[in-house]
Amino acid sequence: MKSLLYAVLSLLILSQTVMADDKSAAEEALKSKLEAVLLVLQKEEVEHEAKKKEIIEIVSPIFDFSLMAKLILGRKFWPGLVKEKKERFTELFVKRLKESYLENLTRYTKARIVYNAPIQVKRKIYIPTELISKDDKISMLYKLYKSKHNWKIYDIEIEGVSIVINYRSQVNQILSSGTIDDLLTKLEGPENQ
Amino acid sequence: MTKLHSLARHFFDKVILDRPGLVIICLLLVVAFLGYKAKDFRLDASAETLVLQNDKGLRYSRLIDSRYGLQDYLLMTYASKDDLFSDKVLANLTRLRDELKQLDRVSSVVSILDVPLLESPPGPVKELLSNIQTLESPTVDKKLARIEFSNSPLYQNVLVSPDLKTTALQIKFPIDEIYQDLLARRNHFREKQATNRLSAAEVAEFKKVTAQFQKHRDKMKKARHQDIAVIRSIMDNYRQDAELFLGGISMIADDLITFIKNDLKTFGLGVLFFLVVTLGVIFRKLRWIFLPMLCCAFSAISMMGLVGLFGWEITIISSNFISLQLIITMAITIHLIVRYRELHFNNPEAEQRKLILDVVCLMLRPCLYAALTTIAGFGSLLLCDIRPVITFGWMMSAGITVSLAATFLLFPTMLMLMRKGTPEARQNSHFSLTSFLARFTEAHGVMILVVSCITLIISVIGISRLVVENSFIDYFKDKTEIYQGMIVIDQNLGGTTPLDVIIELDKPEALAQKLAPETDAQNDDEFDEFDEFDEARYGDKYWFTSNKMAQVEKIHDYLDSLPETGKVLSLETIMKIAEKLNNGKPLDNFELALLYSKIPNKFKSTVLKPYVSVEHDEVRFSIRVRDSEKSLKRDKLLKKIQHDLISILGLEEEHVHLTGMLVLYNNMLQSLFSSQILTLGVVILALKSMFLILFRSLKIATIAIFPNLLSIGAVLGVMGWLNIPLDMMTITIAAISIGIAVDDTIHYIHRFKQEFRVDRNYINTVYRSHGTIGHANYYKTVTIIIGFSILVLSNFIPSIYFGLLTGLAMLIALIASLTLLPQLLVIFKPFGPEVGVNQ
């Protein structure tokens, strides 16, 4: 009986340790990338476009852009699409997402990031951060999941607004009156179209 | 002698006249009982009593009210002599608001003092939302606030007039949950009763719920009446510094009742006085004043008791019923008096009992015929599906029966207790109007026909000009406080009558289901892993998209562009402000979501909740229509909005819903119009069938229709020519005119038929009929016209119209029955050929 109790206790402690490990691993993965991005942003001598290219190279491994595209279409739209359309949508949306992320991030050349304690939600880790610049403070919640190899971002909540759901609402409004081709055509155009 | 006649004779002889004292005691007991029941007599002008019995519109309107958290409110206007934003005025307003807030049944008061200032100072949305200021905030910049109030689409024409001289305080009352619950339960039983039979237990429960509902509603009505009185007394303390008015739909309903009640009290006495004087002048004998008045009192009290007993509610449609009751009773009594005097004069030696018996037996048939035909006329009201109109139909049918019964029981028994007296001759019979009209008919028969035809044609043209409009503001004279208040609200604070346009926005799910078979989605484990993105889980903030807002803007701008609409409030109102704060750029989906999540809850309930139901994918446009706008055509406006939203703005028909007071009253009025005016043809046919049954001659039935046609036609024609709209109060004039005209026609024809037997000469019969029943009709008409003429002094316009139009209907009916009717009888000779001429 005693041994069973020990076994349960050690399992609990072990799982806590695993959770703690997950949190710090996810935080570490995120932190390393974001700090690298901040360093790039601070480089005054580098051209804007070059900065963008460099940032994309840094963040691409941690962002699961394909998953984000899939989640944006959601279980209502995604399964109904043929493979080619899925690929085309993913390709266009990843491009759009990257552009949007860069556009917003490159405004903050002299910013710092404060990391708050990570939160475990089921098998995912949410890392609340604050992007602090001279006259603004934006709360950003990075949502990560453990892919086959490493921790990856699948959504960011900016001031409480999820970018996946936000894009999904745009997709919904296009699909409510048009077809998937209309959506693809719009994505091919400029962002504010 | 027919069976009916002998039966009636036997009844009156052996039962009534044998024991007059006992009959009077029984009558007194019945009247005392009904008088006691009259305590349940209630007058109601609330929406509930003024809408269609099965009106889906009312149910929908209630649903919308609860979905958008809409509360009943009163609007108080405050036009200060000093600057509105001066410390003195703001302190006064604060005091006033606090006093109002302290009233038990007031849930909140919205004023310029406590609404969020969104542009004072203007700044980024995020910053603004983290520190929302009000006029009461210690650090507020009043200069900026003044600018904001003068420009804000959210507050201008709602809380302040564009010139910043008048402000409004919205006094909100809590949603009455007990009322809603009782109403739902009562309606459930009503619906069940309409489709299935209720079990005994359900019937008992239905009765109980109905009683509880009425009790609660009466209590609340009384409470609201008290609240209005208290609010008005609070207002009195501020009148030295400002001009204050009170408005709002529940106040209009309350004031309507007050006006009608006051008119009943003030003019009831006036009418009574005029009736007494006229009866005195005509008959010059105390008993002929006392008896009609006693009959009127008995039938009016009995009817009020029956109304209470049956739980019938007196609405503004049926508020004239007491007057009608008086008219009908007075008509029957005058017929009895005139016939009694005539019999007495012709048989001075006859016993009182025999005279009375002859009078009741001779007059029972025509009075019964007239009553039955009038009931048939009012019976048309039962066919429509408006509860108050149906009730009015029942009330009038019951009222006529009560008048007939009360008069035929009271008149003979009371007269039995009086001495016979000396016979009374009519004075100046040669120069009286009736003998003049008899001579005129004989001399100018063709002219009568021509003039009647011309009158009918002019009337028909007039009728074609009739408009169906219900403008509350036009119910009151311009010197009344309610009128002035409504004008202020209408012209400076965005309009009076609420209209809601509800639009269901497209649901993307419908399309998604077409694209994606459920099974595929269920098999995809990745979506299960990220179920936080399932739509049911994410919050309302993502509902707000730029596409939806663009659609809302289009609809809002369209509604705002209509000249009849005053203030339009919707999501677009707050979007306009947000756009301004966003450097003039429309908000994108992200910014919209951000805005939604950052607005504090206490402001969400005032700036968002009334205009959007995320759960139902629905937006609400709250419109106030300018009631005083003379060019306003309500039904046309509603149809135009519905049409334009579908065909111009491309919305689906099933996604567009119009509701609110304007719609409910309009539905009711249109239904009233179609049941009252469009079915006049049916009513005329019904009357003709009645005449056919009564006189058993197609010729007489056809002739009898014409004076009635002329009377109704003239009344409606005059309304058309004078631009008097058919509204909830005037529309019943048509039914009333029929009742009045029918009485004259039936009595005249009935007497004509009797008199014709004397010498079978039509012209002689005309003279004799004019000299007998003509007098009764003439006296009746004069008494009632004079009696009700006092109503022109009322402050309540429908009362004036009622007084004048009833008088007109009576006059036309009298003239038609004494000119056109005899002329038609002379021409068409429906009672057979004449036997020589010996005038």
Three-state DSSP class for residue B140: coil
Average of per-residue pLDDT across B543-563: 89
Q: Please indicate if any CB of chain B lies within 8 Å of the CB of A127.
A: no
> What single string gives the DSSP state of each residue in B454-470?
HHHHHHHHHHHT--B--
B400 neighbors B331 (Cβ within 8 angstroms): no
**Preceding peptide of A61 cis, ω within 30°:** no
Q: What are the chain A neighbours of B532 within 8 Å (beta carbons)?
A: 121
Q: Is the ipTM of this structure higher than 0.90?
A: no
> What single string gives the DSSP state of each residue in B47-85?
GGGGSBTT-HHHHHHHHHHHHTT---EEEEEEEESS-TT
B38 neighbors B314 (Cβ within 8 angstroms): no
Question: In the structure encoding, which two tokens stand for residue A70, read together?
Answer: 């899939």
Q: Smallest Cβ distance to B508: which of A79, A145, A176? A: A176
Say if the Cβ atoms of A175 and B543 lie within 8 Å: no
Measured CA to CA in angstroms, residue B318 lies from B44, B103, B727 at distances of 10, 34, 13
Confidence bin at B631 (pLDDT 50/70/90)? confident
Condensed to tens digits (0 to 9), the pLDDT of residues B162-216 reads 888 899 999 998 888 888 888 888 878 877 777 777 788 888 888 888 888 888 8
Q: How far is CA B706 from the centre of its chain?
A: 29
Q: For the full predicted model, state whether its pTM sits above 0.90.
A: no
**B474 — phi, psi (to 5°)?**
-80, 0
Residue B384 has pLDDT above 80, yes or no: no
Of the listed ranges B250-264, B513-527, B582-596, the least confidently predicted one is B513-527
Confidence bin at B838 (pLDDT 50/70/90)? very low
B365 neighbors B5 (Cβ within 8 angstroms): yes
Average of per-residue pLDDT across B269-282: 86
Q: What are the chain A neighbours of B508 within 8 Å (beta carbons)?
A: 76, 172-173, 175-176
Residue B656 has pLDDT above 90, yes or no: yes
How far off is chain B from A5, nearest CA to CA, in Å? 32
How far off is chain A from B138, nearest CA to CA, in Å? 25
**In chain B, what percentage of residues exceed pLDDT 90?**
26
> What single string gives the DSSP state of each residue in A1-40?
-HHHHHHHHHHHHHHHHHHHHHHHHHHHHHHHHHHHHHHH
Give me the residues of chain A with pLDDT under 50, please: 11, 14-15, 193
Average of per-residue pLDDT across B715-724: 91
Separation of alpha carbons B549 and A60, rounded Å: 34
Length of chain B: 839
Q: Residues with Cβ < 8 Å from B595, sequence gap 6 or more?
A: B125, B129, B544, B578, B587
Measured CA to CA in angstroms, residue B283 lies from B268, B360, B722 at distances of 22, 19, 36
Residue B41 has pLDDT above 50, yes or no: yes
Question: In the structure encoding, which two tokens stand for residue B735, read together?
Answer: 């039914």
- State the Cα angle at B557 between B556 and B559, rounded to 5°: 65
Condensed to tens digits (0 to 9), the pLDDT of residues B295-333 reads 999 999 999 899 888 878 777 777 777 877 888 898 899
B675 neighbors B384 (Cβ within 8 angstroms): yes
Three-state DSSP class for residue B169: strand
User: What pLDDT score was predicted for residue B283?
Assistant: 87
**In chain B, what percentage of residues exceed pLDDT 70?**
92
B189 neighbors B205 (Cβ within 8 angstroms): yes
B772 neighbors B751 (Cβ within 8 angstroms): yes
Average of per-residue pLDDT across B734-742: 77
Say if the Cβ atoms of B590 and A158 lie within 8 Å: yes
User: What pLDDT score was predicted for residue B431?
Assistant: 57
Separation of alpha carbons B325 and B406, rounded Å: 11
Mutate to test the interface with A, among B530, B535, B547 (most CBs of A within 10 A): B530
User: What pLDDT score was predicted for residue B591?
Assistant: 82
Going from the N-terminus, what domains does chain A have, and what CATH number goes with each? 2-192 (3.10.450.710)
Q: 136-165 in A: which are within 8 Å (CB) of B? A: 145, 154-155, 158-165
Q: Smallest Cβ distance to A175: which of B126, B511, B533? A: B511
B586 neighbors B549 (Cβ within 8 angstroms): yes
Separation of alpha carbons A120 and B615, rounded Å: 30
- Chain A: residue whose CA lies nearest to B541: A161
Condensed to tens digits (0 to 9), the pLDDT of residues B450-474 reads 999 999 999 999 988 888 887 788 8
Q: In chain A, count of helices (H) and strands (E)?
A: 6, 6
How far off is chain B from A154, nearest CA to CA, in Å? 9
